[in-house]
Structures are given as structure tokens and as C-alpha cells.
Amino acid sequence: MSVAPSSPPSRRDARLNRELLMGHARAAFAEHGVTASLERIARDAGLAIGTLYRHFPHRIDLLVAVYGETLREFLDGAESTLDSADPWDGFVGFLDALCSARANDRGFSDFVSRRFPDDERTEALHNRLCQLAERALFRGQEAGVVRPDITTADLVMLLWASSGIVEATAEVAPQVWRRHLHVVLDGFRATERHGLPEPPLDDERLYQAMARPNR
């Protein structure tokens, strides 16, 4: 019986180093966000920074490796259930699920909330996320259960606000963000609404805000 040859040591070591770096990166991003120190990640993995850059030439490459599949899986799940739900339940459920996925991982929250204009991989993921959010929103508006003056920019602002609550209360009440999310979502209902004092951001200004490097 023939035995398949094992991988050459150099290739096997490279694969193990990549997995090691991704594991430490995931932990660092979860705690510190997408700006976590790459030098610290490499050091914690017991590797040189040059090894990290050989596997991930740019920070965005490491972010995509760590979070790209997670976001794709979320989008696949959301897309498969969104249209089957009651319009209001689908709208609320989509936002609750998205906030839940971001709540315990600061890096994933940053990855979802920010734009990386020079990277086609993340732009495709974010465009798909925006399309699903718009589908949930427009479906609710067409059914008359979501107020007609809500825009996708309002949904992004909601995500940013939820992230702030998560960060402020994580150690004392890690689930309290859900209370405030649903308080705000009640304000999105079509009935008994009041006029809003400020207009929403248009698409260009929203994109500029999401692409700011300090977010």
C-alpha cells in the first residue's frame, strides 16, 4: 500500500505559521479593534514581523483572512431568512442579528462598520451587506411598518451607536445594548412618528464617514 508523501517541512511550517498568526490576530483584533499592533501580534505568536508580512503584506490582508469568511457566513444566513419573515420582524431581526455578531468582537465590529476603499474584497462584502440592509428596510417601508423617512444611513448610525454602548457597558452589563437597540427601533415604526430635526446623510457623505481612517 502506497503512502501519500507528507508536505515538505517548509510548506507545513508556513501553513502552521499562518494559522498561528491568524489566531493571535483574531484575539488582538477582538480586544483592540482593527488597528491592533501587528508587531504585537507577531511577537505574541513567537514570530518575526517579517514573517507576518510575508503571509499578509498589508493589514487588510490579515483582516480579510480573519473576518472575511465570518462576514460571508453572516450574509448567507441573513439572505436565506430575510424574505421569509414578517416585514417588521425581518427588519428588526436583521439588525439585532448584525449587532449581536458584532457585540463581543471589537475587530469584527470595526470590519463591518468601516469601508476600505482600496480593497475590492471588502468593498464587495460591504456592498452586499448594504444591499441586504436596504432590502430589509425597503420591505418594511413597502409594508407600511417602517417609517418612510428612514434611510440606510440611519441604520449605519444605529450600528455605530450600538458599538459605543457595547464598549461602555461590556464589563458590567454585556447585553444591555439590546435594550437600547430595541428602544431606538421602536422609533423606526411607521405609526405615531414625529418629524426628525436633521436630514439623513446622502450616500457620498455616508461613504466618506465610513472610510475615515480614525473609525
Query: Could you tell me if 52 and 41 are in contact, meaning their C-beta atoms sit under 8 angstroms apart?
Result: yes
Sign, CA torsion 106/108/112/117: positive
* C-alpha cell recorded at residue 128: 452586499
* Residue 12 pLDDT > 90: no
CATH number of the domain encompassing residue 126 = 1.10.357
**45 plus 71 within the same structural domain:** no
**94 plus 200 within the same structural domain:** yes
Average pLDDT on 120-138 reads: 96
| pLDDT tens figures, 133-146 | 999 999 999 999 99
Query: Could you tell me if 156 and 206 are in contact, meaning their C-beta atoms sit under 8 angstroms apart?
Result: yes
Average pLDDT, the chain: 89
In the chain, how many domains are there?
A: 2
* Residue 155 pLDDT > 70: yes
The predicted model scores a pTM of 0.82
Residue 45 lies in a domain: yes
What domain range is 194 assigned to? 66-210
**153 plus 94 within the same structural domain:** yes
Average pLDDT on 55-67 reads: 98
Residue 1 lies in a domain: no
**47 plus 28 within the same structural domain:** yes
pLDDT at 110: 94
Residue 80 lies in a domain: yes
